[in-house]
Amino acid sequence: MAAGSDRSEQDAEEARNTAAIEELRRAVRALSQTAADAFGSVPWFPSLPAQTRSWARLVVGRELMMMAADIATPQPPRLRSIFSGAPLEVTGQISLDQILELIRLTVDVVLNGIDDVMDDTSASLVRGALERYGREVAFAAAAVYAKVAENRGRAGAQRQMLLLDALVDGGEEQIAERASGLFPLGVPVRVIGLLPRPDAGEHVLHEVNRTAERHRVTVCAAQRGRYVLAILPDAAAGALADLASPSRWNTEAAGSGGPLVTHHAVVTSGVVGSLSAAGPATAAVLSSLRAVPAWQGSPGLLHVDDLLPERTLCGDQQAADQLVAECHGPLASAGRGLVETVDALLAHDGSPDAAARSIPVHVNTLRYRLDRVIALTGKDPRRGRDAFALRMAFTLARTGGHAFQ
């Protein structure tokens, strides 16, 4: 008899629960509109783009429908489905904190509104479930946003890699297409490159991005083979100086594995008028990264033109042509005397007196010619590295190893 009574009470309880859930489902439309109207009281909501506001209001209706379903058949909140149809730009315009604020507001509106659309018995039955749901859905929102952020980061990294691929192998049209929404086309830029130690590529890439964030500049950076390439606005001088600091990549920062960047070198191109025209600069940076191990003891920041001799030795024809054009062409055009002067200085280890006697000319005449050599080429044959560049340029010019024949 007692068992039958218990069974009857249990059946009655289940019936009341079912009736309450059905009543909640019928009330969803009215509660959805009430919650959507309440969003207007949130200070930041009216400033969102119209598309984002519409999406948020649509979410309210869907969320309340799932809320009723989840209460009827207990299961983890299905918040993930809310985000499945949302454009990426929408989820990027509402932060996790803002989403949680809207969720809490929705739950509060429902808790306050159920008395108006349900009888007292039904309202009391679903109130506890709604409060529990509000807590669970907040945790689910955090998980969803973490996944969205992870996917967005992965997609962003892939887009940056594709843009750098276009800079190396593509044309201006392809570069512009891949840069859309990722990097501004209309600003002067520099291409920079680093040579990480073999196990440190991801770490170096992360540090490049962190540096850009710290200086609040837009950067496009990715690994390409063993190198890390990055595009920076020319105006980002502070970020470039930070990246070029030798202490930036020291042993301490890398733990026991040694410096993160070999040779402490950061290679930079010259300024390019726009990203779409940065293909040749990118090729020059890659060539310089291949060549930089040949310059032992190089300074921390290298311009691609600093490495013309090493790039030439690595088979870069453009570098060979540029080296001849800058170091031999102006002297040959100015007359035989300047070429003769450089030859003499190179043959006598940069000694003006010995070089003057070998030509022969007065030493003051030779010094005058030397000043003209420096003015025309920026190179002084008495200095070791400049002498190296001049000797290679003269050799290329005389053997036909360049385009200026």
Q: What is the pLDDT of residue 254?
A: 46
Query: Cβ–Cβ contacts within 10 Å for residue 97, how many?
Result: 9
* Contact call for residues 102 and 166 (beta carbons, < 8 A): no
Range list of H helices, 189-328: 201-215, 237-244, 251-254, 279-291, 308-313, 317-327
> Tokens 């990097």 sit at which residue?
183
Contact by Cβ (8 Å): 323, 309: yes
Say what the pLDDT of residue 404 is.
45
Residue 154, phi-psi category: left (phi > 0), alpha (psi -120 to 50), beta (remainder): alpha
Whole-Å CA distances, 180 to 89, 101, 150, 160, 275: 14, 32, 21, 11, 11
Please determine, for residue 281, whether its predicted confidence score (pLDDT) is greater than 60. Answer: yes
Tokens of 117: 């659309």
Mean pLDDT for the stretch of residues 329-335: 90
- Assess if CATH 1.10.10 describes domain 187-307: no
**Is the Cβ–Cβ distance between 195 and 290 less than 8 Å?**
no
pLDDT digits (tens, 9 = 90+) for 3-37: 556 677 777 767 766 766 666 666 666 777 777 78
User: 72 burial class (0-12, 13-18, 19+ CB within 10 angstroms)?
Assistant: middle
Report the pLDDT value the prediction gives residue 142, as an integer from 0 to 100. Answer: 64
Domain 322-399 belongs to what topology? Arc Repressor Mutant, subunit A (1.10.10)
Q: What is the separation of C-alpha 224 from the centre of its chain, rounded to a whole number of angstroms?
A: 14
CA–CA distance, 220 with 181 (Å, rounded to integer): 12
More confident residue, 163 or 156: 163
Whether 84 shows a pLDDT value over 60: the answer reads: no
The answer, yes or no, to whether the previous bond of 74 is cis (omega within 30 of 0) is no
**pLDDT for 325:** 94
- The predicted pLDDT at position 149 comes to 56
One-letter amino acid for residue 373 of the chain: V
Amino acid present at 138: A
Give pLDDT, residue 252.
Answer: 45
Domain boundaries, the chain: 2-152, 187-307, 322-399
**DSSP-assigned letters across all residues of 262-275:** EEEEEEE---BS-G
pTM of the model: 0.61
**Can you give the pLDDT at residue 153?**
55
Distance of alpha carbon 330 from alpha carbon 185, whole angstroms:
35
How far from the centroid of its chain's Cα atoms is residue 59's Cα?
A: 32
Task: Give residue 2's pLDDT band: very low, low, confident or very high (50, 70, 90).
Answer: low
When pLDDT is cut at 50, 70 and 90, the band that residue 147 belongs to is low
Q: Minimal CA–CA distance to 137: which of 59, 71, 66, 79?
A: 79
Q: What average pLDDT does the segment 160-180 reach?
A: 80
Determine the 3-state secondary structure of 260 from DSSP.
coil
**Interior/surface letters 329-342, b for 16+ CB within 10 angstroms, e for the rest:** bbbeeeeebbbbbb
What's the chain's Rg over C-alpha atoms?
Answer: 35
CB-based contact 344:336 (threshold 8 Å): no
- Within 10 A of 87 (CB to CB), how many other CB atoms are there? 11
Q: How far, in Å, CA of 287 to CA of 282, rounded?
A: 9
Main-chain dihedrals φ then ψ at residue 220, nearest 5 degrees: -120, 115
What is the CATH T-level fold of the domain 2-152, as seen in this structure? Globin-like (1.10.490)
pLDDT band, residue 375 (cuts 50/70/90): very high
